Every structure is written in structure tokens, then in C-alpha cells.
């Protein structure tokens, strides 16, 4: 009886209670750890399953830098080395068009000069031709005219100051990988590009234009357009041969030099007013088109999941 009293004394009861409390606490911690580990394992398995099922996972692409950009949600659906600075080639003309449009008020008449025709490449322009600003801008973007880009730059500000304005505009838009050295994008020798930027920068530039100046790139969604300059007729063909294969296309711009390789940026609306931009840099001359079509197909599949 005395032993029982000892066992149930206040001091021993407290001690046994603390032991039990410690035991249940330890058991709870172990159980929680097991549940957490199991939940993390399930999450990792689910994440791996989603990645494995991603329609982008199995794509074989030539481009060095890629981003598929969701304009509405301001985020990348898919990317590959998206911030790598690469030569832009004629993608440069998209910034040229934006800066020129913002600098020139109205639809003024532009007279083509001999100096405008100095850059390499012949798009058919002749000295003395008179173009409305809007027509020349559309013609330049559609045909990727280097002469047209020079003329737009000359009338907007001046060649040297115009390139400065292009770089200032890139900064204000947050295009951190972009640097422009001329208005047309032609390489400066064998080792230096006329402009540099990343796939993400080009997607953001397109997104800004679509949101704020949608008509600027409208001409680039057509396979061909006709223009008049005095008594001369210009039949202008899009440098994107695959423009008619892109569903609900909103805009398109190509770029190619030996240094840059093949570049292509397109914007399309897969439905529900949700513009998507596919930006491909550093592919091959033909690979830029096949890369883009693969990415569009994968995007459509992704949005249907």
C-alpha cells in the first residue's frame, strides 16, 4: 500500500505525465514528418508527371534562344536561354518602326534620297519616290527593307540621333539585353551585329506594341500588299513565307544574316483574346520557320490541357 502511494504521489504523477507528454510529442513529430515526406513525394511525382507530359518537352528545335510569351498573364509559357543576347538582324526594324512612329506626327510625305539607298539590299525603292509615312513603314516591315528603315530614321530624327533614341526606348521598355547600333540590323562586319537582344526582349517589345499601338505591325500579318508611289506600283511580299499557316496571326517579323542566323517573332491569338508571342533567335534560315510552327502547335496543345 505504501508503494502504491509512492507511485501515485504528486511528484511521481507529474513525472509520469511529463514522460507521456514527451512520448506523444515525439510520436506527433514523427507522424508529421512522415506525412510531410509523403506529401512532398506525391508533389514531386505529380510535378515530374506534368513536366513529362509538357507538349514542349519532346520538341527538337534549332534556335539558341526561345520564349513563348503569354501577353495577358505577362509570363513565359516556355523558354530556352531566353535572356541570351544575340544578333537581331532585321528584327531591329520593329524598334525602328516604333521609334519612328512615336516621333513623326501624322502621315507626312517622305521623299526617298540617294543616301537612303546606301544600305545593302535592294527593295526596289528609287531616289525621288514619294511615300506616305504609313505606307513606307508598312512596306519596310513587310519586305524588311533596309532602305526603307534608313528613310524612316532620317525623317524621324537623324540617323545617329535616331539610334540613340532606339536605345533609350529599349531602356524605358525594360529590354535589358538589347543594344542597337543601326536602324536596319545589318551586321557591322563579320563579327559584330547591327543590333543585339534576347528572345525575351523581342517578345516584350511585341507585347508592348500589341497593347499600346496595335496597328503598327498590322501589315506584317499579310502575305502580300500593294503600294503606290506616284505612278509606280509596288507589290510587296512578306519575308515570312509561312504567315498563312499561323492561326489568327496578329504580327510577324523575320530577321536573317550570316552572323545572326535565322530569327522570327510572331504574335497570334489562339482564342479568347489571349495573344501569344513566339520569339525564336539564332536558328537557321529555314529552321526559324519550322521551330516556330512546332512551338505554335505545342502552345495550342498546352492551352487545351
What average pLDDT does range 87-99 have in this prediction?
Answer: 98
Domain match, 29 and 109 both:
no
Pairing of strands 249-257, 261-268: antiparallel
Domain match, 21 and 70 both:
no
- Give the chain's domain count: 2
Any alpha helices (H) in 128-249, and if so which ranges? 133-143, 146-156, 159-172, 199-212
Domain match, 71 and 185 both:
yes
Separation between Cα atoms, residue 158 and residue 150, nearest integer Å: 9
Q: Is the pLDDT of residue 20 over 80?
A: no
Domain match, 119 and 266 both:
yes
Picking from 19, 35, 52, the residue at the C-terminal end of a domain is: 52
> Computed over its alpha carbons, how large is the radius of gyration of the chain?
30
Q: Which helix (H) or strand (E) holds 261?
A: strand 261-268
User: 66 has which bridge partners?
Assistant: 80, 280
In this prediction, residue 223 carries a pLDDT of: 97
Q: Are 185 and 239 in contact (CB under 8 A)?
A: no
Please report, for the domain that includes residue 160, its CATH number: 3.40.710.10
Domain match, 140 and 45 both:
no
Separation between Cα atoms, residue 90 and residue 252, nearest integer Å: 12
Residue 187 half-sphere exposure, CB side, CA atoms within 13 Å? 13
Query: DSSP labels for 27-70?
Result: HHHHHHHHHHHHHHHHHHHHHHHHHHH-TTTT-----SEEEEEE
Domain match, 186 and 282 both:
yes
What average pLDDT does range 22-33 have in this prediction?
Answer: 65
Q: Among 90, 77, 159, 166, which Cα is nearest to 121's?
A: 90
Distance of CA 225 to the CA centre of its chain: 26
In this prediction, residue 105 carries a pLDDT of: 85
Separation between Cα atoms, residue 281 and residue 79, nearest integer Å: 12
Picking from 52, 72, 89, the residue at the C-terminal end of a domain is: 52
Structural domain harbouring 45? 2-52
Q: Are 62 and 291 in contact (CB under 8 A)?
A: yes
Domain match, 161 and 216 both:
yes
Domain match, 124 and 39 both:
no
Pairing of strands 224-229, 179-180: unpaired
Task: Determine phi and psi for 18, rounding to 5 degrees.
Answer: -65, -40
**Which pLDDT tens digit goes with each residue over 245-300?**
999 999 999 999 999 999 999 999 998 789 999 999 999 999 999 999 999 999 99
pLDDT band at 51 (very low <50, low <70, confident <90, very high): very low
Domain match, 78 and 44 both:
no
Pairing of strands 195-197, 86-87: antiparallel
What average pLDDT does range 59-83 have in this prediction?
Answer: 97
Domain match, 269 and 286 both:
yes
Domain match, 165 and 204 both:
yes
Separation between Cα atoms, residue 17 and residue 22, nearest integer Å: 8
- Across all residues in the chain, what is the average pLDDT? 88
Q: Are 279 and 253 in contact (CB under 8 A)?
A: no
Per the confidence metrics, is the pTM higher than 0.85? no
Domain match, 126 and 246 both:
yes
What average pLDDT does range 151-179 have in this prediction?
Answer: 92
Q: Are 253 and 220 in contact (CB under 8 A)?
A: yes
Amino acid at each position: 500500500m505504501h508503494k502504491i502511494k509512492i507511485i501515485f504521489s504528486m511528484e511521481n504523477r507529474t513525472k509520469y505525465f511529463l514522460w507521456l507528454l514527451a512520448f506523444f510529442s515525439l510520436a506527433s513529430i514523427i507522424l508529421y514528418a512522415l506525412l510531410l515526406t509523403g506529401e512532398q513525394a506525391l508533389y514531386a511525382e505529380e510535378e515530374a508527371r506534368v513536366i513529362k507530359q509538357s507538349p514542349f518537352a519532346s520538341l527538337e528545335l534549332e534556335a539558341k534562344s526561345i520564349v513563348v510569351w503569354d501577353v495577358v498573364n505577362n509570363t513565359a509559357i516556355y523558354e530556352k536561354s531566353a535572356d541570351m543576347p544575340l544578333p537581331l538582324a532585321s528584327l531591329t526594324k520593329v524598334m525602328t518602326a516604333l521609334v519612328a512612329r512615336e516621333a513623326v506626327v501624322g502621315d507626312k510625305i517622305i521623299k526617298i534620297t540617294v543616301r537612303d539607298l546606301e544600305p545593302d539590299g535592294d527593295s526596289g525603292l528609287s531616289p525621288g519616290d514619294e511615300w506616305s509615312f504609313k505606307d513606307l513603314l508598312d512596306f519596310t516591315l513587310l519586305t524588311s527593307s533596309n532602305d526603307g528603315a534608313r528613310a524612316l530614321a532620317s525623317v524621324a530624327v537623324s540617323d545617329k540621333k535616331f539610334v540613340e533614341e532606339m536605345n533609350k526606348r529599349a531602356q524605358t521598355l525594360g529590354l535589358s539585353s538589347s543594344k542597337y547600333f543601326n536602324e536596319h540590323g545589318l551586321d557591322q562586319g563579320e563579327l559584330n551585329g547591327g543590333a543585339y537582344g534576347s528572345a525575351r526582349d523581342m517578345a516584350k517589345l511585341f507585347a508592348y506594341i500589341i497593347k499600346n499601338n496595335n496597328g503598327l505591325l498590322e501589315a506584317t500579318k499579310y502575305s502580300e500588299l500593294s503600294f503606290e508611289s506616284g505612278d509606280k506600283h509596288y507589290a510587296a511580299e512578306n519575308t515570312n513565307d509561312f504567315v498563312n499557316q499561323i492561326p489568327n496571326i496578329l504580327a510577324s517579323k523575320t530577321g536573317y544574316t550570316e552572323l545572326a542566323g535565322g530569327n522570327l517573332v510572331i504574335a497570334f491569338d489562339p482564342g479568347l483574346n489571349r495573344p501569344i508571342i513566339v520569339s525564336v533567335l539564332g536558328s537557321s534560315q529555314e529552321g526559324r520557320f519550322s521551330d516556330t510552327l512546332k512551338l505554335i502547335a505545342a502552345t495550342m496543345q498546352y492551352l487545351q490541357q
